[in-house]
A and B are shown apart, each in its own frame.
Chain A
């Protein structure tokens, strides 16, 4: 049940992505400094996403001696994390913007923790792979 509600919430948010102005129907316009701070947080997440995508390229480019499966696996993991991070950045921005307008608490999220664990696992895998000196 909770999952279904979350999916409905996500679809509602996706509608907001493409409907400029709709968000302004809700609540009241906040102090613009709050909106700008929310925007900067969104941009920080977008940069994180771009950095993950760059990391995917880097693994593919600068570890050419790795076995194909490891190289492509690590690169695709980073690229998928980057895409997910970008999508989540807009969704979180919309949720925060609505919460600010309605004077509600900001939404909490377990995404940062999950992303940290994912990046730590990829980093650990790379350390093991490079130290072990596996080559084709």
Chain B
């Protein structure tokens, strides 16, 4: 009676929900980007920046979805890979760059 005394299901589930929260936050950012791009006076550059924001939002969604699927498999989940983590973080950085283009 050692390890199984602890519920193994909760930790992957908490991590899965953390990924879900992260995609929700990214959605809020994408909506704000849309509001910024659709105001009066935003030119073609603004529309391009908004399109890029949408692409990055989708990218983050795909990254999160892949990880969520791994975590939902049950059993002992595979660890997050550095490439996966970098992809998620680079999406956020690129969103900040697009936001800069929209603000200026």
Q: For chain A, what secondary structure do more than half of its interface residues adopt (helix, strand, loop), or is it mixed?
A: helix
Question: Is B28 engaged at the interface, CB distance under 8 Å to the other chain?
Answer: yes
Question: Is A99 engaged at the interface, CB distance under 8 Å to the other chain?
Answer: no
| Pair A47/B21 contact, Cβ less than 8 Å | yes
Question: Is B18 engaged at the interface, CB distance under 8 Å to the other chain?
Answer: yes
Q: For chain B, what secondary structure do more than half of its interface residues adopt (helix, strand, loop), or is it mixed?
A: helix
How big is chain A's contact interface, by range? Answer: 35 or more
Residue of A23, A46, A97 contacting most chain B CB atoms (<10 Å): A46
Question: Is A69 engaged at the interface, CB distance under 8 Å to the other chain?
Answer: no
A57 to B101, CA, bound (A): 11
A115 to chain B, nearest CB (A): 14
B87 to chain A, nearest CB (A): 9
Q: Can you sample 12 A-B contacts with CB below 8 Å?
A: A17-B83, A17-B85, A19-B83, A32-B11, A36-B11, A43-B15, A47-B22, A50-B25, A57-B102, A76-B103, A82-B99, A94-B82
